[in-house]
Structure 1
Amino acid sequence: MRNNILDIFKGIAILNIILIHTLWWSGNSYIPSSIIPQLALLIDVPLFFFLSGWSTIFSKRNSMQDIFGRFLKLYVPYILMVIVLIIFMFSSHGQFPSWNEISGWLLIFNQNSDGWPVVMGSIWFLTVFICIMPFTPILRYISQYRNASLLYLIISIIFIGLFSSNSEFLNYSIYPTVSLRLLIFYSVFYFLGIYTAQISISKRSGFKIICVLSVFVIADSINNGGFMMQENKFPPTLIYFAASMISIIIVLIVKNYESNLSKWSNSSMGSFLTYSGKNVFYIYLFQGFGASALYYLIPYYSQFHWIFVLFLSYIINIVITYLLVVIISFVDRKLYFLYKN
């Protein structure tokens, strides 16, 4: 069972991820101000965890067997992405990656992909998500009880505040690319998605919450001499949490207009966003190829104004990404059909 509104939100979120990786990687060579990439981080990975939590209510079962099935649906496309990466690296370097590199990719902890840096450089979220998935039944159970949900959120936010002060305990690694700090931080957004799946917020209340969050973020920016989302993202802090909550609140406000969004989903742009939402994981996996290809292509048009360079780079990134998605999603679904039969 799918929800078109959820797919539209996912589509918007993934298009912004493509923009973020266009701005932050090759974009550093021509964008004159850091404020633009920093602002793009207001719609970022936390929104994906929120939307993923929301999507769990459309699953009839959330047993460990069901979760293992979800893991396979993530891991098989990931393996296909690794195969494409090996092919791309051979085409650009004239030799295959070493077995150590390939085994690191297969285990999702090698974040180096020489020549195609954004591919593995942006895949860190996957291990965090895989580590959170097994807790889905517990989190769904907690979400049924208001007091238990509030207690969980309060304790988690306290921990987020504590690890903002660089607590060594919370930096303990439970996997090479996943610390307890990351697990707690992103599990809060995942849980919020579950808890608020059937909830919306009025414009009045939402605006008040956004104002409070904005004041908190702006005060920190003034205190630290600049708006620094990237510095608060790695590792995540209470400031990044507050800034990320702004996009969550906006989604909860927009949910009041679900009927209007349902009608709009049939438009050309709505259909494109819905397609993007349905294929969001494929797009996330392969946007790294589009973003990395820009390093090779930008020198051919870097003489133009930076706004034009950014616009063209973003379009090129989208085109390369979606071409790969169409091909690989087709292969993946054929493999799934053969497996089922």
Structure 2
Amino acid sequence: MKRDLYIDFAKGIATLSIIFIHTAFWSGQLYIPAEVRVLSLVFDVALFYALSGITSGSDIGKTFYRLLKLQITYMIFVTLLFFLDYFFKVFGLAFFSMEWLQNFYTTFGSKYAATDISAVPQWENLGNWYLHEYSNADTFPVVMGSFWYLKVYFILTVFGVLILKFFPKHINWFIGLCVALTLIFNIFPEIYPTGQVGYVAFYMTIFLAAHQMKGKKIPEKIIPVLYGIVALALVWMFFFYGNEIFYKINRNKFPPKIPYIIWTLFSLVTLFVFYNRLKITKESFVTHIGRNAIFFYFAQGISSSLVYFLMAPLKDSMPWWILMILIYIINIILAFVISGGLKKVDEWGWKILQFLRIKTAVK
């Protein structure tokens, strides 16, 4: 079956958008205006769940095998991250002053303390990371700040494939159920569940709705109607919540509440408007990113942390918008280089596991 380059292209655009979001909301919090940071959320993580819905099927064995491979790749990555984080704490003083390091960690809300520098590795943190308990990686705070997506993705994919396998004729009912739960959680915020339950209700709606769109194309006459609905929803949001809600979109993302849900509609409608309409026929830099999206997702957490070291000495020497563009471009370049390295580390990790499997196999 021929690979759909539109999916790779859309994943690539979504990944580039995530890099921009993390450029704006992490190091960018020190110099980028709030309005720009909010606008960066127009194309956000909801696109990944929609693309997962389009590409998912009802083969449980294939899906679980794919998730197992992703889990192992994730474990290889966080093992590398664990040692990088520790070595930076140990040797960071060779390059930076204690005051500078404390300012760095304070900026990102870390619980880092000076005594941690000479401490032995906190192995329980690595174990927690394996189990998707994302305690902070002090040196690379954006990494753990990104991983909430991965945990929800695992949950979503497991429940999603079970629905697709055992209830293929009732998918619309499950979409309705998820919509109802999302509304109930928002109408009665006191019962909004903690953890990932609230996340799953909304993102499962996107996942299943996207699956129902698989192979279909939105008719041209419907397109203005959809964008009209999005515009009306935005007008209602500002009328109901007031103009200040614009600055609170990110607060309404964790977990997803009505303002953020409305904010995502434009990107989701645009994704499906171009699906099966925009023909991508050639590989490109963007499709390469989309094809290797998971490694870029891991890499951007590291790169978005590292750009702080470049931003800090430059933020007072040039206009904010020039610095933003510069840091964003550097962030993309770093993510590209780091993702290539992570892919190699992943290959080595799998080779080591294969070697151990052969050596420990019962003869």
TM-score, normalised via structure 1 length: 0.87
With 95-104 and 157-166 compared, the bigger mean Cα shift is at: 95-104
Question: Tell me, what secondary structure is at the counterpart of 1:93?
Answer: helix
Shift of 1:154: 2.4
The answer as to whether partners of 2:175 and 2:204 remain within 8 angstroms in 1 is no
> Is the alpha carbon distance of 1:153 and 1:291 closer, same or farther for their aligned partners in structure 2, counting shifts above 3 Å?
same
Question: Tell me, what secondary structure is at the counterpart of 2:56?
Answer: helix
Alignment match of 2:180 (pick from 153, 158, 168):
158
Q: Residues of 2 paired with 1:37 and 1:130: CA distance?
A: 28
Q: Does 1:87 align with 2:83?
A: yes
Partner of 1:196: 213
Partner of 2:143: 119
Question: Tell me, what secondary structure is at the counterpart of 1:171?
Answer: coil
With 285-294 and 210-219 compared, the bigger mean Cα shift is at: 210-219
Q: Does 1:261 align with 2:280?
A: yes
Q: Residues of 2 paired with 1:52 and 1:111: CA distance?
A: 26
Question: Tell me, what secondary structure is at the counterpart of 1:261?
Answer: coil
Partner of 1:213: 230
> Is the alpha carbon distance of 1:126 and 1:150 closer, same or farther for their aligned partners in structure 2, counting shifts above 3 Å?
same
Amino acid at match of 1:185: F
Partner of 2:127: 103
Q: Does 1:242 align with 2:262?
A: yes
Shift of 1:335: 4.2
Q: Does 1:62 align with 2:31?
A: no
Alignment match of 1:285 (pick from 295, 298, 301):
298
Q: Does 1:133 align with 2:157?
A: yes
Q: Residues of 2 paired with 1:286 and 1:99: CA distance?
A: 22
TM-score, normalised via structure 2 length: 0.82
Instruction: Flag as ranges the 4+ runs of structure 1 deviating above 6 A.
Output: none
Partner of 2:5: 4
Partner of 1:295: 308
With 222-231 and 243-252 compared, the bigger mean Cα shift is at: 222-231
Question: Tell me, what secondary structure is at the counterpart of 1:21?
Answer: helix
With 289-298 and 20-29 compared, the bigger mean Cα shift is at: 289-298
Shift of 1:231: 2.1
Q: Does 1:74 align with 2:70?
A: yes
With 44-53 and 321-330 compared, the bigger mean Cα shift is at: 321-330
Amino acid at match of 1:69: Y
Q: CA RMSD in A?
A: 2.2
Partner of 1:328: 342
Partner of 1:316: 330
Q: Residues of 2 paired with 1:21 and 1:153: CA distance?
A: 30
Q: Could you list the per-position Cα deviations for residues 133-155 of structure 1 after superposition, in whole angstroms to 9, with x for gaps in the alignment?
A: 2223333247853xx33332222
Amino acid at match of 1:8: F
Q: Could you list the per-position Cα deviations for residues 88-129 of structure 1 after superposition, in whole angstroms to 9, with x for gaps in the alignment?
A: 212321055412322221211124111321011111111111
Shift of 1:309: 0.8
> Is the alpha carbon distance of 1:74 and 1:212 closer, same or farther for their aligned partners in structure 2, counting shifts above 3 Å?
same
Aligned residue pairs: how many? 322
With 103-112 and 40-49 compared, the bigger mean Cα shift is at: 103-112
With 219-228 and 232-241 compared, the bigger mean Cα shift is at: 219-228
The answer as to whether partners of 1:140 and 1:194 remain within 8 angstroms in 2 is no
Amino acid at match of 2:280: L
Q: Does 1:182 align with 2:199?
A: yes
Q: Could you list the per-position Cα deviations for residues 141-193 of structure 1 after superposition, in whole angstroms to 9, with x for gaps in the alignment?
A: 47853xx33332222212111111354544054xxxx2x11111111111122
Amino acid at match of 2:266: I
Question: Tell me, what secondary structure is at the counterpart of 2:152?
Answer: helix
Q: Could you list the per-position Cα deviations for residues 272-328 of structure 1 after superposition, in whole angstroms to 9, with x for gaps in the alignment?
A: 111111110111112111111122221232111111111111112112211111112
Q: Residues of 1 paired with 2:37 and 2:146: CA distance?
A: 15
> Is the alpha carbon distance of 1:314 and 1:217 closer, same or farther for their aligned partners in structure 2, counting shifts above 3 Å?
same
With 88-97 and 296-305 compared, the bigger mean Cα shift is at: 88-97
Q: Residues of 1 paired with 2:181 and 2:258: CA distance?
A: 9
Partner of 1:19: 20
> Is the alpha carbon distance of 1:189 and 1:75 closer, same or farther for their aligned partners in structure 2, counting shifts above 3 Å?
same
Structure 1's unaligned 5+ residue stretches are none
Amino acid at match of 1:80: I
Identity across the alignment (%)? 27
Shift of 1:50: 0.6
The answer as to whether partners of 1:10 and 1:48 remain within 8 angstroms in 2 is yes
The answer as to whether partners of 1:30 and 1:306 remain within 8 angstroms in 2 is yes
The answer as to whether partners of 1:16 and 1:40 remain within 8 angstroms in 2 is yes
> Is the alpha carbon distance of 1:299 and 1:36 closer, same or farther for their aligned partners in structure 2, counting shifts above 3 Å?
same
The answer as to whether partners of 1:26 and 1:295 remain within 8 angstroms in 2 is yes
